[in-house]
Amino acid sequence: MARAGAEGTGFVEVDGRRLEYRMVGPAPGDGPVIVLLHEGLGCVALWRDFPERLAAATGMGVFAYSRAGYGQSDSRPLPWPLDYMTREAREVVPGVLNAVGAEQVVLMGHSDGATIAAIHAGQVRDARVRGVILMAPHFFTEPVGLAAIAEAKRAYDAGGLRQRMAKYHRDPDNAFRGWNDAWLAEGFREWNVAAAIDGIGVPVLAIQGEGDEYGTLAQIEEIEARANVPVERLILPDCGHAPQFDQPGAVLAAVGDFLSRRVAR
């Protein structure tokens, strides 16, 4: 296994599974590290050049990893439990942060990854976490999001989406079915993890596109209503579910400003 703190790519083992990672920018010993948590169909490779741009914009190291079932990481048995995001936040993220080896981290998540970041910050006593950046988070289901996920299933079953995912995921069926089957399960309609927000004890930056097809601004409003810490929000026009790609300049500027004011180095 490669040492996770070294710049480059490799694998770390957490809970008996190999997870791929990528580290760019300053080493963990040089200050806080931003830990990227990907979306429901993401992985290390699908962050594209965002980790490099984020490191350049903030002067901080950036660590991204692929959760089990994604990218080149080990698969996980199907079906995934309906609380898979809570389990990741509570059981896996601590081991990943141990592998990073940083004394200070900022959790930056997108979509499912944002939810995982918020749950970890709110439910796990972890003094290493100094800030949370949430892009297009989900705390409860909404009809618009479930409709978009159902449409993704149709695209996958038709073959086009599976073919695209196979370029980035060693086991695309594991990645897609695990995520999609959980979200479309009848019992998931009542899923709600908003109570995790109550326990967050570090500053929060919440980012969402006005055209997000997977969720409404009710998700951001829930953070503002429940949080007992400073919450800054960035709502972006001409932006869908992926602010880091639709409006990268605005996201990088906001993140850099937030970290310079809210996270001590």
Every domain of the chain and the residues it spans: 8-262
* CA torsion through residues 204, 208, 210, 215, sign: negative
CATH of 8-262, one of 3.40.50.1820, 1.10.10.10, 3.40.50.720, 3.40.1350.10: 3.40.50.1820
Q: How many CB atoms lie within 10 A of CB 237?
A: 10
pLDDT at 191: 98
Sheet of 33-37, strands arranged across? 8-14, 17-24, 61-65, 33-37, 105-110, 129-135, 204-209, 231-236
Per-residue pLDDT of the chain (265 residues), as tens digits, is: 445 766 799 999 999 999 999 999 998 888 899 999 999 999 999 999 999 999 999 999 999 999 999 999 999 999 999 999 999 999 999 999 999 999 999 999 999 999 999 999 999 999 999 999 999 999 999 999 999 999 999 999 999 999 999 999 999 999 999 999 999 999 999 999 999 999 999 999 999 999 999 999 999 999 999 999 999 999 999 999 999 999 999 999 999 999 999 986 6
pLDDT recorded at residue 5: 65
Cβ(227)–Cβ(206) under 8 Å?
A: no
Model confidence, pTM: 0.97
User: pLDDT at position 167, please?
Assistant: 97
The packing angle between helices 172-184 and 143-158, to 10°, is: 150
Characterize the bridge pairing of strands 17-24 and 61-65: antiparallel
The answer to whether 156 touches 184, Cβ cutoff 8 Å, is no
Q: What is the pLDDT of residue 265?
A: 65
The DSSP call for residue 67 is P
> Dihedral angle at the C-alpha atoms of 125, 129, 133, 138, nearest 10 degrees?
-20
Output the pLDDT for position 3: 53
